[in-house]
Amino acid sequence: MNSVNLKRLAQELNLSIATVSRALQDSYEVSSQTKERVRALAAELNYEPNAYASSLRRNISKTIGVVIPEVNNHFFSLAINGIEEVARQSGYHVLIYLTHDDYEREVAITQYLTGGRVDGLLMSVASGSQEFSHLEKLYASKPAIVFFDRVCEAIHTANVTTNDYESGYLATQHLIEAGCTHIAHLLVSGNLSIGRMRMQGYQAALQAAGIAFDETLVIDGNGDDESNTELLKNLLRSRPEVDGIFASVERLVISSYQACQALGRAIPQDIKIIGFSNLGVASLLAPALTTITQPAYEIGKEAAKILLRAIEKKKAILPSQSLVLKSELFQRKSTEPCG
């Protein structure tokens, strides 16, 4: 209903719509005096081009989509921060979609996005997804896609990830060196590559230390926080020999703390805990939490950069553009050796 459009400007200036349009694009085909007149009136009337008309005509939306499991999570919110930063600098808009780690929702969302609403897509796939035909369909419908963190290997594109195998290895090794011999591994994405990598690192570190792998110590922590905490309490009760926990996702670290608190297990005396986390307050926890921290902001930034470069150059994204950033281990109280 904002009726200040090119036609309106053209009428008031006694020019054609084409000339007004070109003037606003600073085209060489229009004289500088006319440009000035057009710009002046446009500013006065507070003209803003209709994004939909422009997108329709040019087949370019200047919009990217971000599809992630959740936003109330330091990793993803930091990533969004990085994404938004890069997008804003390049004049792109950011649509956000949350899957809540639910396969059905992910399918519905990718279906929407087939309609050409976005020029490109940044995605971290839902842990509930076991099957990826919806992503292949989406990919076939053209938009550039870059996966970050939770990638989909079936799609031939670039991924931005972290050194997950190494991190899993280091985390486990860290617990072993601190004296742990029965280490539980909590994960959420066993069927995703990210989960498998961390798992393999965990297993390799156990093997290197001569500790037998016990798959009953691997807990799948989907579901909500309360049920996860219950799950952990059950584990700790039934397996009192567990003296270390390696949580591969922030939420599970919190649940671990709560389970220990509820059962009166002292950290780090009885149980040591390390986890993937971007919690800013890790050092303020009781006790301070040893974390493996992913460069979430940089991941978002780099993924967005790769995507936007491809969009602007209209070139396909190659797997060779993939990036692996390094996570960092911050040693704190929760894994301190005692006695």
Contacts with DNA by CB under 7 A lie at 3, 5-7, 14-19, 21-22, 24-25, 28-34, 47, 49-50, 53-54, 56-59
The answer to whether 199 and 171 have CB atoms below 8 angstroms apart is no
Asked if 270 touches a second copy (CB under 8 A), the answer is no
Give the span between the Cα atoms of 123 and 213, in whole angstroms: 33
Give the span between the Cα atoms of 92 and 199, in whole angstroms: 37
111 binds, among a second copy, DNA, none (CB under 5 to 8 A by kind): a second copy
324 binds, among DNA, a second copy, none (CB under 5 to 8 A by kind): none
Helix (H) or strand (E) holding 209: none
Burial of 87 (0-12, 13-18, 19+ CB in 10 A): buried
Asked if 124 touches a second copy (CB under 8 A), the answer is no
Q: Which of residues 94, 218, 323, 329 is near a second copy by CB under 8 A?
A: 94
Asked if 273 touches a second copy (CB under 8 A), the answer is no
Left (φ > 0), alpha (ψ -120 to 50) or beta: where does 337 sit?
A: beta
323 binds, among DNA, a second copy, none (CB under 5 to 8 A by kind): none
Q: How far is the CB of 16 from DNA (least distance, A)?
A: 3
222 binds, among DNA, a second copy, none (CB under 5 to 8 A by kind): none
Asked if 285 touches a second copy (CB under 8 A), the answer is yes
Give the three-class secondary structure for 165.
Answer: helix
Q: Which of residues 11, 27, 81, 227 is near a second copy by CB under 8 A?
A: 81
Q: How far is the CB of 98 from a second copy (least distance, A)?
A: 5
The CB-based long-range contact list for 212-216 (8 Å cut-off, 24+ gap) reads: 214/182
Asked if 59 touches a second copy (CB under 8 A), the answer is yes
Give the span between the Cα atoms of 325 and 294, in whole angstroms: 8
Give the span between the Cα atoms of 89 and 21, in whole angstroms: 24
Give the span between the Cα atoms of 188 and 117, in whole angstroms: 31
Asked if 286 touches a second copy (CB under 8 A), the answer is yes
Give the three-class secondary structure for 244.
Answer: strand
16 binds, among DNA, a second copy, none (CB under 5 to 8 A by kind): DNA
34 binds, among DNA, a second copy, none (CB under 5 to 8 A by kind): DNA
